[in-house]
Amino acid sequence: MIHPSAIEIIRNIEATLVDIVEPAVQTTTARSALATIGHLLRHVALRIEDEGQLLTDDIAALKLLLNDLAVYIASTGDTARAREIGTAMSAAEPPAGRYPSIQILATQAAALRAVMQDILAYLQTQRDARRGEADYLAARAAIRAYLTADVLMEARLIHPAFEDKGPRR
């Protein structure tokens, strides 16, 4: 393990800015910039600690959702589109044997989200024809539930870094 850790380095930078630099700063603009830097340092620290797990959880949720949506779409008779979903999910898999870095996880999650967005766009074209069908409504509700959970999950990386920490620019 490399010492100090990345989190320790970031916290040390923030403490140095607060204890040494901030008392010497005279202008409102400079103080605002310093506060913004503090917010961003806390945000980066949170991302280092939590982003990998959040992306891993997001990918798992997306895979479940996409599998369910593929089953639904196949049940409507559109087996070609259902196969395309499976193909796109396979293409999104990270390289085998590589440590799943944050960038690799983020790329995989983005690719899976793009598949989900394509499905949502397709389902929206089916609104008039399928609006009374329970399975159609359930598929749309599942997408909304995922999107809601995704926004709340991302807030875990933002809210603690910025809330009650002074002004932001």
Residues 47-102: tens digit of each pLDDT: 999 999 999 999 999 999 999 999 999 999 999 999 999 999 999 998 888 888 99
CA 104 to chain centroid, in Å, comes to 13
Q: How high does pLDDT run on average in the chain? A: 92
Inside any domain, residue 66: yes
Residues 114-130: tens digit of each pLDDT: 999 999 999 999 999 99
Nearest one of 145, 119, 117, 165 to 61, comparing CA atoms: 145
Give the model's confidence band at 158: pLDDT under 50 very low, under 70 low, under 90 confident, else very high. Answer: confident
Inside any domain, residue 168: no
Inside any domain, residue 39: yes
Residues 142-153: tens digit of each pLDDT: 999 999 999 999
Inside any domain, residue 167: no
Domains of the chain: total: 1
65, 89 contact by CB (below 8 A): no
Which domain covers residue 130, as residue numbers? 6-162
The number of helix segments (H) and strand segments (E) in the chain equals: 6, 0
104, 94 contact by CB (below 8 A): yes
pTM of the full structure: 0.84
Inside any domain, residue 14: yes
For position 2, what pLDDT does the model report?
Answer: 82
Inside any domain, residue 169: no
**Cα–Cα distance for residue pair 126/156, rounded to 1 Å:** 34
On the CB side of 47, CA atoms within 13 Å amount to 14
